[in-house]
Chains A and B, each alone.
Chain A
């Protein structure tokens, strides 16, 4: 992947809100096509500002944003949102149509597709998200989980090259999170580039290969998730906590059980303990 130019290049980005708050300081970031990247950090660190620079909702005061080798400065939000699909936290902020079906069709309006194409994409995306049974119902009556699915469906039906999720696992139970991870797998298979802003450390450890940590408008770490999230210093600076497996590994060492450094997932920890307990049994 390194022989090609990054799909997204953020270069020396600065941004301050009109009321004076500095949200982004000298942001430099390269993201390659097909990557799955997490963005984490304290509330107010600049995560939501950062993602808004990708589709033109926010124009940086300094620095440039390049998407697919083009400076997006002169492109409109309408143009950019065809390539970059931003899916926000709160589905209530966008739902307004009479039926679920119309809600999806609204998202397809600006793509200048013919009627057939609109129909087929709508039916397909409603199927993928298990929302077919609701197609003639009012979207306002959907449950929290269903409306979150509808919000995601409304962007995925537009087939953007880059997907950006803002807190997709917030308030979701196990079943809903499983469904979301399946959607992620599908989109990755199709070669989409995915960015996820999240607080969910365990989710990031399990599913996200690369993570960026932000604090005070700066990127303070950018690397393999498992390395970044198990670094005590970085974790403290970004108002996170160590993943459970890491905390556990450190406590095990405290009581003399030598847990190796590269144990990250719950399966790895389980296997390590399984071996440990087996040796205990054979000892006795």
Chain B
């Protein structure tokens, strides 16, 4: 089932002359783990904000075409309404944690939507277990480490059970071990709750193994949106100046030297599988 549809969507911020998004045609389906990548300035952040109505409602500008989110138009439906379907974890978790402690942080979204107390308590207990933050409930935001902040921010959005969870560069300030941990947590959540997860990230080595689909952007255009396999074996991906995963670099080079003829592996396990089969 398609959750978000972009129909010939264009957008430019009021003060800019150039369009930030050009003729976007995109369909986001349910239960997918999607990587959004592109060079800085390619429009990823603008695209993300179009998915919950921040664009064009919170950020004034000019737009053409439309974006339909779970049957609702993103320019007419109030952002608060769209927030039930689309949750966004923004780039800097520090600026998203608005409460004095973790417990109130997680309750915040539910309070805004008028959930009854009992329901709030139940959901809070559930989500803190899933995100492994039960021991942090009475901590203030400045007492949390980067990884803890991230998990709390994710928990405070997931507790509203959106159909789509979008994360804008969630791993940037995390150390590698914590980044890996959060990626696996997110994959688990996608599978167990049927939630579509969209992540905008530069660090592909860590994330490619769990991804289903990739959206490639450049200069405000969506260049391609396809399965991971198709994208990384395509020319567009090859030509983009991104932080390509090490495995990709190794095998695409081997392909160039005609020593390798199969689909380029997206992860170490895929590479190992191939080599094992062909021993």
Please determine whether A270 and B279 come into contact, CB atoms closer than 8 angstroms.
no
CB of B126 to closest CB in A, whole Å? 28
Task: Give the one of B180, B250, B271, B279 with max A CB within 10 A.
Answer: B250
Given contacts A172-B40, A174-B241, contact A270 B272 (CB under 8 A): no
B1 within 8 A of A: no
Q: Is the CB of B246 within 8 A of A245?
A: yes
Asked if B146 is at the interface (CB within 8 A of a chain A CB), the reply is yes
Contact B243 A252 (CB under 8 A): no
* 0/1 interface trace, chain B 56-70, chain A, CB 8 Å (1 if under): 000000000000000
A44 to B253, CA, bound (A): 39
Q: In whole angstroms, what is the CA distance A245 to B180 when docked?
A: 17
B29-43 contacts to A, CB under 8 A, are: 39-41
Q: How far, in angstroms, from A170 to B174 measured CA to CA in the complex?
A: 10
**Known contacts A172-B40, A174-B241, A252-B275; A244/B175 CB under 8 A:** no
Q: Mark A131-173, 1 if CB is under 8 A from B, else 0.
A: 0000000000001110000000000000000000000001111
Interchain nearest-CB distance for B89 vs A (Å): 16
Interface string of B245-260 (1 = CB under 8 A from A): 1110110011001011
A189 interface contact, C-beta 8 A: no
Measured CA separation A42–B181 after assembly (Å) = 14
Checking B172, B175, B244, B271 against A239 with a beta-carbon cut-off of 8 angstroms, the contacting residue is B175
| Interface residue B242 (Cβ < 8 Å from any Cβ of A) | yes
A143-B40, A173-B241, A274-B259 known; A240-B176 Cβ under 8 A: yes
B101 at the interface (CB under 8 A from A): no
In Å, the complex CA distance between A270 and B252 comes to 10
Check if A3 is an interface residue, CB within 8 A of chain B: no
Interface size class, chain A: 35 or more
Q: Considering only CB atoms, which chain B residue lies closest to A171 in the complex?
A: B172
Please determine whether A173 and B268 come into contact, CB atoms closer than 8 angstroms: no
Q: How far is the CA of A176 from the CA of B243 in the complex (A)?
A: 10
- A177 CB–B CB distance under 8 Å: yes
**Counting CB contacts under 8 A, is A248 at the interface?**
yes
Measured as residues with beta carbon below 8 angstroms from the partner, the interface class of chain B is 35 or more
- The answer to whether A241 and B180 have CB atoms under 8 Å apart is yes
Pair B177/A239 contact, Cβ less than 8 Å: yes
* Inter-subunit contact B178/A239 (CB<8 Å): yes
Measured CA separation A199–B169 after assembly (Å) = 15
Contact A257 B177 (CB under 8 A): no
With A and B bound together, what is the CA distance between A78 and B276 in angstroms? 61
Which residue of B has the minimal Cβ distance to A206? B246
With beta carbons under 8 angstroms apart, the residue of A43, A143, A144, A255 that contacts B276 is: A255
Q: Mark contacts of A238-252 with chain B using CB atoms, 8 A cut-off: 1 yes-contact digit, 0 otherwise.
A: 011101110110011
Which B residues lie within 8 Å of A270 (CB)? 249-250, 253-254
**Cβ-defined contact, A199 with B176, below 8 A:** yes
Interface membership of B238, Cβ < 8 A: no
Residues from chain A with a CB closer than 8 A to the CB of B247 are: 244, 248
Shortest beta-carbon distance from A27 to chain B in Å: 20
Bound Cα distance A251, B242 (Å): 26
Most chain A beta-carbon contacts within 10 A, residue among B173, B178, B243: B243
Contacts of B278 in A (CB 8 A): 280
CA distance A33 to B79 in the complex (A): 57
The distance from the CB of A117 to the nearest CB of chain B, in whole angstroms, is 34
- Known contacts A248-B268, A266-B246; is A42 also within 8 Å of B175 by CB? yes
Contacts of B268 in A (CB 8 A): 244, 247-248, 251
Closest B residue by C-beta to A199: B175
Instruction: Give the interface centre of B172, B174, B242, B259 by most chain A CB atoms within 10 Å.
Output: B259
A-B contact pairs, 24 of them (CB 8 A): A42-B175, A43-B175, A143-B41, A170-B173, A173-B242, A173-B243, A174-B39, A174-B243, A176-B40, A202-B246, A239-B176, A239-B177, A240-B176, A241-B176, A241-B177, A241-B180, A243-B246, A244-B268, A248-B268, A251-B269, A255-B275, A257-B275, A269-B250, A270-B249
- The 8 nearest A-B residue pairs measured at CB: A244-B246, A239-B177, A277-B259, A174-B241, A241-B176, A270-B250, A173-B39, A239-B175
* Residues of A in contact with B (beta carbons under 8 Å apart): 41-44, 143-145, 170-178, 199, 201-202, 236, 239-241, 243-245, 247-248, 251-252, 254-257, 266, 269-270, 273-274, 277-278, 280-281
Given contacts A174-B243, A174-B244, A277-B254, 12 further A-B contacts (CB under 8 A): A43-B173, A170-B172, A173-B243, A199-B175, A236-B177, A244-B205, A248-B246, A251-B269, A252-B272, A255-B272, A273-B250, A278-B259
